[in-house]
Amino acid sequence: MSKKNKTKRKKRIFNKYHSINRIKRKKSRRQYSYKPLKRKSKDRNIKNNLNTVSLIVEEKVIETNIQSQKSKGDEKREKIFEIFKNHLNFLNDKGFVSTDKDIYLCPLDLKPHHNVYEDDPLTLEDAPPKSLGGKAHVLTCKSCNNKRGQDIDAELAKFLKEAKNINVAFNRLKAGKSINNLHLPKSDHEVVLEINGKYIDGKMGFEKEGKMSVVLPIELAPDTVLNFVGSKVPKWAQYSLLKAAYMLLFKKTGYTLLLEKCCDVVRKQIEKPDENIYP
């Protein structure tokens, strides 16, 4: 018998054997597929065990859902909280400060926080403000953030917008162009002008017709040339810049310098912008 015939014979035997086994399996399935299962007393215990397992699984699913519901902002707040909390613990261990451990002190009012999610939660603070291109790298109380944001930070953003438009308007008028499409302040804006190498404080106003008026404390000759230096920074905008510098100090050095007595004056000035506390 040749090799080819031998291999063919082996294949036929193999296929026949497996086909018989397949038929037997099908018959066995038909016999037992429709028969009802006999229930024993142990089934109740199995059911109870299954219920407990399902409850544990549901609890784990709920925990994972809660974790998944946390936004990127919440994760960022928790990371910042841990960084500054560990730094404060380090300073306490080395004897540089004496405060409670495992807390975060709000840099503006030094109020202790044991976690991010309290009655007065910790929120992300831009240092410096967004108007100056800053990003959120520190945390402050929600009350502090709202109060200071509405007051001095808003004043700084308004000032920067007006100062930019006034500079553009001055250059346009100097070139003989129109300034009607610019959003300019209605009231007189305090500016600094240069006249014959001297700097003089004055006020600049804009009319509806697109004309500019300048009020100076001295009289000028008709052919005097005025050069616009810049807008004078109002007090509340100055305090916003002071706050930005203070928050940047906290961002870079943590609580190393923040708890010194020299910073108490800065905090009081930021808290009370109506008063002249900081020299």
- Return the structure tokens found at 101: 């451990």
Residues 6+ apart with CB under 8 A from 248: 127, 128
Can you tell me which residue has the tokens 């002008």? 193
Q: pLDDT digits over 31-87, tens only?
A: 544 444 455 454 555 555 555 555 555 555 545 454 556 788 889 999 999 999 999
Structure confidence at residue 66 (pLDDT): 47
Distance CA 70, CA 110 (A): 27
- What is the C-alpha separation between 279 and 269, in angstroms, rounded? 10
Q: Which of 63-72, 204-213, 216-225, 258-267 is the least confident region?
A: 63-72
Using the predicted structure, report yes or no on whether residue 181 has a pLDDT greater than 90. Answer: no
Q: Mean pLDDT, to the nearest integer, of 221-249?
A: 82
Among the residues of 70-153, which ranges form H helices?
72-94, 142-148
pLDDT band at 276 (very low <50, low <70, confident <90, very high): confident
Residue in 83, 143, 138 with CA at minimum distance from that of residue 107: 138
pLDDT at 187 over 80: no
Q: What is the DSSP letter of 2?
A: -
Q: Are 105 and 138 in contact (CB under 8 A)?
A: no
- Name the pLDDT band for 236 (thresholds 50, 70, 90): confident
Backbone angles phi, psi at 15, to 5 degrees: -65, -40
Tens of pLDDT, residue by residue over 86-126, are 999 999 999 999 999 999 999 999 999 999 998 889 999 88
Cα 138 to Cα 256: distance, rounded to the nearest angstrom? 15
Give 195's pLDDT tier (boundaries 50, 70, 90): confident
The Cα 197–Cα 272 span in angstroms is 37
Lowest mean pLDDT among 50-54, 148-152, 191-195, 259-263: 50-54
User: Would you say 128 and 248 are in contact if contact means Cβ atoms under 8 Å apart?
Assistant: yes
Q: Count of residues for the chain?
A: 279
Which residue shows structure tokens 């960084």? 83
Burial class of residue 105 (count of CB atoms within 10 Å of its CB; 0-12, 13-18, 19+): buried
Interatomic CA distance for residues 193 and 232, integer angstroms: 10
Return the SS3 of 263.
Answer: helix
Nearest to 83 by CA among 244, 251, 246, 258: 251
The pTM score is: 0.65
Measure the CA–CA gap between 105 and 41, rounded to whole angstroms.
61
In eight-state DSSP terms, residue 37 is P
CA–CA distance, 102 with 260 (Å, rounded to integer) = 20
The end-to-end CA distance of the chain, in Å, is 114
Whose CA is closest to 129, among 269, 279, 237? Answer: 237
* CB burial readout 41-54, b (16+ within 10 A) else e: eeeeeeeeeeeeee
In Å, how far are 50, 135, 153, 279 from 237, measured between CA atoms?
66, 19, 7, 15
Summarize pLDDT for 122-177 with one digit per residue, the tens.
999 888 877 777 888 899 998 888 877 667 888 888 888 877 777 777 777 777 77
